[in-house]
Structure 1
Amino acid sequence: MAPDRRRIVLFDLFGVIARHQRPGALEKMAARCHTSLDAFTTAYWTHRPPYDAGRHTASAYWTHVLHALSRPADAGTIEELRLTDIDSWSRVDDRMVAYVWTLRDRARVALLSNIPADHTDAFLAAQSWLHDLDHVAFSGKIGAAKPDPAGFQHCVVALRAAPADFLFVDDREENVRAARAIGMNGHVFDGQDDLAAAVDAWL
């Protein structure tokens, strides 16, 4: 049977194809801010959503974090934290990258990731395989972060498809629920073997 090129496997990035944040990174950034890990982690994630969604620049994000920790937000500190943060999210799972590559013979393959704009630029520069996908959508560039339906709608429009043409793969159940709510098929990622079986059944 010929591949159905209308079908699209839409992947999340972190926790699926890319690895979660590098262990020890938050501790390193907390130490740079001379604060506790708990306090830093709270500030880091509390102010993250508008940064991920492209509504705050890196400078604005780190200024908010540092002020929440009662620390001066000088340009040197901001840049050091920004680069450490980007590096902490830079690792990929080579086995999953290879798997994604094999799917391109059977369906269209796209990406929808929550990632700030400056992280996107670094990731695109380092990971050349991303340029060969049918579409890549990064929250910091499109102005919508999952589970906002606008992110999924962006992919539907960009790929000139219907929601039912998509199988969305994410390691976070709330994001998969959001994709299903607009009519996409969904799979909660829990390892490559289960994913491969789900994709084979769907295709």
Structure 2
Amino acid sequence: MVTGVLIDWGGVLTTSMTDSIAKWIIADRIDGDHYRKVMRQLVDAAYNGDGETLIHALERGEIDGTAFEHDLAARLLTLDGVPPAPEGLLARMFAGFERVEAMYDMLRVVRGHGVKTCLLSNSWSNTYERDGWDEVFDAVVISGEVGMRKPEPRIFHHALGLIGQPGESCVFIDDIEANILAARALGMAGIHHRDADTTIGELESLLRLPLRRA
């Protein structure tokens, strides 16, 4: 029996990171191919490597967004062949995020059936739109606020403790495979999010409940 749902924010409760980044690349005239090469290396090192990176430090809140923006901007190029302006870089990158209301509606229905819910998000020093969060979450865990990050086991244990549920009774939803694998290693079921309709359908099967509003 599933008694808890842990869920990511960016790219899950919002429109995809890919869509937001695509809008920013156009707006800031970023060299997209160069950006993708740089980010593949950074993200792969952060989620699949053995050492520590700036992303580790950013997500744990050990450095602030300004320091990361200057480092990242120095690695990138615009179509004019110069680095983009570092100030506000992260805000511009994430400006295209939009709430996916179907996912919020699903969480309201889940809570209505007595299942505990917890937001579990890795923060890039970004601002979260928290309107209505008290209606959909029993607990909120944001990496930069707790000094831990996914896929570290300790942040999952922290989240589970806040909602008072064992991992074996919980489902974790995220759009990054490394985080799903980490949750599964702790006994949780994992749903690799790609779109709202598919995720809601998978969760309906696990909970054996209808989760879509009429």
Q: Same fold (TM over 0.5)?
A: yes
- Residue of structure 2 equivalent to 1:9: 5
In structure 2, the CA distance between the partners of 1:40 and 1:187, relative to structure 1 (3 Å rule), is closer
In structure 2, the CA distance between the partners of 1:72 and 1:19, relative to structure 1 (3 Å rule), is closer
> CA deviation digits over 1:24-75, x for unaligned, max 9?
213434x3xxx633334444562544322322211110121233359789xx
Structure 2 unaligned residues grouped into runs of 5+? 43-53, 208-214
d(CA) in 2 for partners of 1:82, 1:38: 18
One-letter code aligned to 2:73: L
- Residue of structure 1 equivalent to 2:34: 39
- Residue of structure 2 equivalent to 1:129: 132
Verify the 8 A CA contact 1:44 1:65 in the aligned structure 2.
no
- Give the one of 189, 192, 195 matched to 2:193: 189
d(CA) in 2 for partners of 1:43, 1:201: 38
Equivalent residue of 1:200, what SS? helix
TM-score (norm 1): 0.76
- Residue of structure 2 equivalent to 1:24: 23
d(CA) in 2 for partners of 1:200, 1:80: 39
- The alignment covers a number of residue pairs equal to 186
> CA deviation digits over 1:165-185, x for unaligned, max 9?
211112333221110101212
> CA deviation digits over 1:89-142, x for unaligned, max 9?
x311122221222211111111111222x31xx21xx33122331011122222
- Residue of structure 1 equivalent to 2:121: 113
Verify the 8 A CA contact 2:6 2:119 in the aligned structure 1.
yes
- Residue of structure 2 equivalent to 1:102: 109
* Large movers: runs of 4+ above 6 Å: 70-73
d(CA) in 1 for partners of 2:176, 2:195: 13
- Residue of structure 2 equivalent to 1:164: 168
- Give the one of 38, 52, 62 matched to 2:59: 52
d(CA) in 2 for partners of 1:193, 1:27: 28
One-letter code aligned to 1:169: I
Structure 1 unaligned residues grouped into runs of 5+? none
In structure 2, the CA distance between the partners of 1:184 and 1:61, relative to structure 1 (3 Å rule), is same
In structure 2, the CA distance between the partners of 1:80 and 1:167, relative to structure 1 (3 Å rule), is closer
Equivalent residue of 2:112, what SS? coil
TM-score (norm 2): 0.73
Equivalent residue of 2:88, what SS? helix
- Residue of structure 2 equivalent to 1:61: 68
1:91 aligns with 2:94: no
d(CA) in 1 for partners of 2:93, 2:24: 7
